[in-house]
A and B are shown apart, each in its own frame.
Chain A
Amino acid sequence: MGESKELSRHNFMQLAIWGVGGLIGAGFGIPAIVYVVGPSLQSQQTQSWMRLGPTSKVELGTPTLFTVTIETQTGWITNEQEISVYILTNDARTYIAMSNICTHLGCHIRWIAEQNHFFCPCHNGVFDASGNVISGPPPRPLNRYDVKVENDQLFVLVGG
C-alpha cells in the first residue's frame, strides 16, 4: 500500500476481502478455542459437609477408617464416588481427618495396626498416625479435610 495515497479500486477490494476473511476466521477461531478449552477450566462442584458417623466409633490414638459416598458431576454424567477418610483423635475432643490418598502419586494408603503406621503399597511410602511422612517418596504429609462434630456426629468438608 506504500505507493498510493489514493486507494485504487483493486487494492480496496483486495483489502476488504482479506479484512472480511480475517473477521470470519476470527469469528470461527475464537469461539472454537473457548468451546474446546472452556469446560476444562470450569470449577468443580461446591463443597459440602458430609456426615461420617458417630464419634464413639473412633478409637483413641488410632486412625479409624470412615467411608462416605458423594455425588460427583463429570460432564453430563453423575457418579457416586466413595471417599475414605481416616479420623484420628488423641483426646476425644479434637479430631483430624486425613485423606487415604498417598501424596506421592495418588495410590490408596492403608493403616497397618501392627506397625502403627500408614503404608502405601505402590512405592513403599510410610506415614505416621497423624499423616506425617516417615519414609519413602511422598513429598508431603497426607491431605486433611476440615472436620467438625455436631451432636456426637463427625462431619467432613468434601468436594471443591
Chain B
Amino acid sequence: MISKISRWIDERVAWRQVWEAIFLRKVPKVNWFYTLGSASLFVAINQAITGILLTIYYVPTPDHAYDSVQYITTQVPLGWLIRGLHHWGASAMVILVVLHMLRVILYGAYKYPREVTWFTGVFLLLVVIGFGFTGYLLPWDQKAYWATTVGTRIAGTPPIIGDYLLRIIRGGGEISAVTLVRFFGTHVWVLPASLLLLIGIHLYLVIRNGISAVPKKGE
C-alpha cells in the first residue's frame, strides 16, 4: 500500500532521483573531519526550529524584551530548554563553521572545481557572524546592551564613513528601540533568507561537484 503510494508520487515528482542524488551519491573514503559541514547544517536547523519557537513569546521592544525572555526562561514549560538550545547552538554554530572552514583550507578542498562553493561558504560565515552579533542584543540585558555598544563603536572606527556606518547600524545616534527592532528584523528575516539561499547554492555545488578526497602525500 505504502509502496504503491510512493510509486504513484515518484512517477510524478521523481523524488527518488533527488533522494539518491543527495543521500546515495558516491563519496571518496574520507575521515570524520568531513562531517563538520553536516554538523553545521544540523545546528543551523536546530537554530531555525528553536528560533521560530522563541518568537512565539519574545517581544522586541525595550519595554518587553527583557521581561519576555525572563518569562520564556522561568515560566514557559521547557522554555529554558528551547532558549538554552538556541543560546548554546549559536556558539556551537560559530565553532563548527570555523572548524569546517579550517578543514577545507587544510585539505585544499577550495581548489578547482570547488571555488564557488568556497565563495558561498565565505558569505555563509559572514551570515553566521551576523546572526551572532544581532542575536546577542535581543535579550536586552546589560551584557547585550554593552556588547552592542562596543560592537557598533567598532563599526564606527573607519575614517570618513565610520560615523555614518555607526548611525546606520544603530538606526540613530544611540542604542534604542530602533536598534533593537532592526537587529531583530535582521536576525529573523534578512539573515535567515540569506542563509537559506546560500545554503541552497552551497549544497547544490557540494552535490554537483562531489566532495574532495583526502589529499595524498606529495599532492
Are B71 and A34 touching (Cβ within 8 A)? no
Smallest CB separation, A160 vs chain B (Å): 19
Stretch at the interface among B75-83, B102-110, B124-132, B209-217: B75-83
B16-70, CB < 8 A from A: 46, 49, 53, 56-57, 64, 67-68, 70
Q: Give the interface SS of chain B, mostly helix, strand, loop or mixed.
A: helix
Q: Which of A35, A39, A75, A76 contacts B82 (CB 8 A)?
A: A35
Chain B residues in 8 Å Cβ range of A38: 76-78
Number of interface residues of B (CB under 8 A): 17
Q: Is A31 an interface residue (CB 8 A)?
A: yes
Chain A residue with the shortest CB-CB distance to B52: A32
Q: Are A76 and B70 in contact (CB under 8 A)?
A: yes
A76 touches B79 (CB 8 A): no
* Contact string against B for A residues 19-54, beta-carbon threshold 8 Å, 1 for contact and 0 otherwise: 000000000100110111011000000000000000
What CA separation (Å) do A34 and B53 show in the bound complex? Answer: 11
Q: A28-B49, A75-B57 are in contact. Are A34 and B77 (CB under 8 A)?
A: yes
Chain A contact residues: over half helix, strand or loop, or mixed?
Answer: helix
State the Cβ distance, A26 to closest chain B Cβ, in Å: 13
Contact between chains at B76 and A35 (CB < 8 Å): yes
Do residues A35 and B70 form an inter-chain contact, with CB atoms below 8 A? Answer: no
- Whether B68 lies near A34 (C-beta < 8 A) is no
- Once the chains bind, are A36 and B75 in contact (CB under 8 Å)? no
Cβ-defined partner of A35 (8 Å) among B64, B71, B79? B79
Q: What are the residues of chain A within 8 A of B71 when measuring CB–CB?
A: 75-76
Other than A35-B81, A76-B64, give 8 A-B pairs with Cβ distance below 8 A.
Answer: A28-B46, A35-B76, A35-B77, A38-B78, A39-B75, A75-B57, A76-B67, A76-B75
